[in-house]
């Protein structure tokens, strides 16, 4: 028993030494790693699309952290912002399922923008929140929505960011590939549906966003005593046509992800 305790402690120290440098890359056990980075489906473990796509550097994030009081303050804002994003996902997906969910006041403007979108477009959801698996490329992910919108069928991914980033193309290409692998669809397109909220200044061109409790003012006059409007809901739908080019980038991310995690992956059967 004593020997085991010593071994356990030493192995923990070894892992801390070997992997401790990157806070979020540190997993204390194989189970930790598997749960944090993938799904087990029918007894086989598959890495998760979002974990793989996370390998790509996001220079914007450095700027975000640099603007915060501390790393922890940045983490808190990110967590709060992710919580708001999850809430918007839940309400939007409930609406698509034909439910009439109670809409929290904090996200009401964004949801109203979504209801307007549904009124002016023909939207028919085919799958919502489904687990996808690619056996050929060995990965797994969770689809937001597969939908028919104005006579096209495609993957619809909901984002609550202030802009549509190219990285979203990498993530959604993996979903399209997995669906094509499992089912016959003539052609699947992709859309990013971005829902956000902002306030604008009555006196200048400034825009205020309060994501995760983080006040962020963009553009605008430096000496303006801003007068903020009511919170305005914002909706942007962007179609990303051919997914093949993005899927090449996804496979490159996966190669890098496998290299980064080779210590743990050597244990995966």
CB of 198 to Zn ion, least distance (A): 13
Q: Measure the CA–CA gap between 51 and 43, rounded to whole angstroms.
A: 20
Nearer to Zn ion, 25 or 202 (CB): 202
Q: How far is the CB of 244 from Zn ion (least distance, A)?
A: 45
- Please say which residue, 49 or 206, places its beta carbon nearer to Zn ion: 206
Q: Residue 132 or 206: which CB sits closer to Zn ion?
A: 206
d(CA 235, CA 114) in angstroms, rounded, equals 7
**What are the structure tokens assigned to 209, written together?**
């966003």
By CB under 5 A, name the binding residues for Zn ion. Answer: 201, 203-204, 206, 220, 224, 226
Proportion of the chain in helix, strand, coil states, percent, rounded to 5 = 45, 25, 30
Q: Six-digit token pair at 137?
A: 């490329």
Which of 161, 210 has the CB closer to Zn ion? Answer: 210
Residue 219 CB, nearest distance to Zn ion (Å)?
9
- Least Å distance, CB 202 to Zn ion, is 7
Separation CA 137–CA 196 (nearest Å):
34
SS3 261: coil
**Shortest Å distance, C-beta 29 to Zn ion:** 52
Comparing CB distances to Zn ion, the nearer of 89 and 226 is: 226
H/E element, 251: helix 244-260
Full DSSP string of 156-192: EEEE-SSS--THHHHHHHHHHHHHHHHS--S--EEEE
């Amino acid at each position: 028993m004593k020997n085991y305790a010593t071994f356990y402690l030493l192995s923990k120290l070894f892992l801390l030494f070997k992997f401790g440098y990157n806070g979020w890359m540190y997993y204390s056990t194989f189970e930790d790693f598997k749960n944090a980075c993938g799904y087990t489906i029918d007894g086989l473990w598959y890495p998760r699309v979002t974990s793989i796509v996370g390998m790509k550097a996001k220079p914007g994030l450095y700027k975000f952290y640099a603007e915060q009081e501390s790393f922890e303050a940045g983490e808190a804002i990110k967590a709060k912002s992710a919580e708001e994003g999850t809430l918007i996902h839940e309400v939007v997906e409930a609406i698509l399922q034909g439910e009439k969910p109670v809409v929290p006041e904090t996200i009401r403007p964004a949801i109203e923008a979504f209801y307007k979108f549904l009124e002016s477009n023909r939207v028919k959801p085919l799958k919502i929140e489904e687990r996808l698996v690619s056996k050929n490329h060995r990965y797994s992910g969770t689809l937001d929505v597969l939908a028919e919108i104005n006579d096209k069928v495609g993957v619809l991914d909901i984002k609550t960011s202030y802009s549509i980033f190219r990285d979203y193309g990498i993530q959604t290409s993996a979903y399209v590939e997995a669906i094509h692998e499992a089912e016959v669809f003539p052609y699947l397109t992709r859309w990013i549906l971005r829902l956000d909220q902002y306030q604008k200044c009555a006196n200048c061109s400034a825009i205020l966003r309060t994501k995760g409790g983080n006040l962020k003012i963009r553009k605008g006059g430096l000496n303006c005593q801003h007068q903020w409007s009511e919170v305005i809901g914002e909706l942007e739908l962007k179609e990303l046509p051919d997914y093949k080019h993005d899927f090449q980038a996804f496979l490159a991310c996966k190669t890098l992800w496998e290299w980064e995690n080779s210590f743990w992956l050597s244990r995966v059967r």
